[in-house]
Amino acid sequence: MDYQTIELEIAAGVARLTLNRPEVKNALNSQMRAEIPHAVKVAQDQARVLVITGAGDAFCSGQDLGGNGSAASLDIEQVLRDEYTPMVRAILDCPIPTIAAVNGAAAGAGANLALAADVVIASERAVFLQAFTRIGLIPDAGGTYWLPRQIGSARAMGAALFSEPIPARQAADWGMIWEAVPDAEFSDHVTRRADHLANGPTLAYAMAKQALRGTYDHTLDQQMLLEAELQGRCGKTRDFAEGVVAFLEKRPAQFEGR
């Protein structure tokens, strides 16, 4: 695919997907919603970690409310089903680790796009905003799923009803994101985090993701059975054998991702 609204770069096991409509704060239009799942698929086939970030001074301002095909003319229900759900599922179901590197404001669907990633790392200048009620809507793009699980019902309800910006440091304190990083250190820090995952045990990461995602639907006994199954698969990999030997030899493991 010839991307028009995003950029995808892959090097040294790291795929970097950049939302690239800085003139509208990387707002999501139909073209971008089609390009993101395609790029995620390419990344999972060719890399060992995926970083999603935004061009310019914002991560993503959410749905594009202007321009061609403005929001007022959309069949919102159909667009959410046909375009937003595949986009969010592509990120959620990606077998390699995903990092949302939130470099600036993440608003509306843009905030919830970030929360679909495995790990969210934000610059301290970033804010997360469930802006939907400002225009008479409810949180979508998975927002009503992520927020109660990550920050609890009371905070999720407040975030949805008041539509107030949540600074990155507060989001980290609440457990909405993994960490907030000083602006000057943000780019290098994300690179180090991505490199760490790119050099790690890829299959074990995939199995950990599967187990942690499944916990919402399982009893304790079901979850422990799943752990046993997935751990059994990890225990047969070259990475496990290498990890044990490296531990005994007191050296860094050289994982192959198998």
Q: What CATH number is attached to the domain comprising 87?
A: 3.90.226.10
Same domain assignment for residues 43 and 154: yes
Q: Would residue 137 count as lying in a domain?
A: yes
Same domain assignment for residues 217 and 150: no
DSSP letters along 37-67, please?
Answer: HHHHHHHHHH-SEEEEEESTTEEE--B--SS
161-212 per-position pLDDT tens digit: 999 999 999 999 999 999 999 999 999 999 999 999 999 999 999 999 999 9
Same domain assignment for residues 221 and 148: no
pLDDT for the residue 72: 62
Closest CA to 109 of 251, 135, 94: 135
| 16-30, 61-75, 203-217, 241-255: least confidently modelled range | 61-75
Q: Would residue 255 count as lying in a domain?
A: no
Return mean pLDDT, the chain. Answer: 94
Same domain assignment for residues 76 and 153: yes
- Parallel/antiparallel/unpaired status of strands 14-19 and 6-11: antiparallel
Same domain assignment for residues 156 and 226: no
Dihedral class, residue 58 (left if φ above 0, else alpha if ψ from -120 to 50, else beta): beta
Task: Tell me: pLDDT of 74 over 90.
Answer: no
Other CB atoms closer than 10 Å to residue 93's CB: what's the count?
Answer: 14
pLDDT for the residue 70: 56
Tell how many helices (H) and how many strands (E) occur in the chain: 11, 10
116-160 per-position pLDDT tens digit: 999 999 999 999 999 999 999 999 999 999 999 999 999 999 999
Average pLDDT estimate for 208-233: 93
Same domain assignment for residues 79 and 206: no
- Distance of alpha carbon 14 from alpha carbon 45, whole angstroms: 11
pLDDT for the residue 68: 56
Alpha helices in 123-201 (DSSP H): 143-151, 153-162, 168-174, 186-198
Same domain assignment for residues 171 and 221: no
141-153 per-position pLDDT tens digit: 999 999 999 999 9
Same domain assignment for residues 158 and 221: no
pLDDT for the residue 165: 96
**What is the domain count for the chain?**
2
Q: Answer for the pair 176, 166: CB distance below 8 angstroms, yes or no.
A: yes
Same domain assignment for residues 208 and 194: no
Q: Give the residue numbers spanning the domain of 232.
A: 202-249
pLDDT for the residue 32: 97
pLDDT for the residue 6: 98
Q: Would residue 43 count as lying in a domain?
A: yes
Same domain assignment for residues 57 and 137: yes
Q: What CATH number is attached to the domain comprising 228?
A: 1.10.12
Q: Would residue 1 count as lying in a domain?
A: no
Same domain assignment for residues 206 and 169: no
122 contact partners, CB below 8 Å, separation of at least 6: 101, 102, 103, 106, 128, 168, 171, 172, 177, 179, 180, 181
Same domain assignment for residues 183 and 221: no
At 67, give phi and psi (nearest 5°).
70, -165
Dihedral class, residue 49 (left if φ above 0, else alpha if ψ from -120 to 50, else beta): beta
237-254 per-position pLDDT tens digit: 999 999 999 999 999 999
Q: Would residue 256 count as lying in a domain?
A: no
Percent over 70 (pLDDT), the chain: 97
| 66-75, 76-85, 235-244: least confidently modelled range | 66-75
List 101's β-bridge partners, or say none: 53, 121
Average pLDDT estimate for 211-236: 92
Tell me the Cα Rg of the chain: 19
The CA-to-CA distance between both ends of the chain, in Å, stands at 29
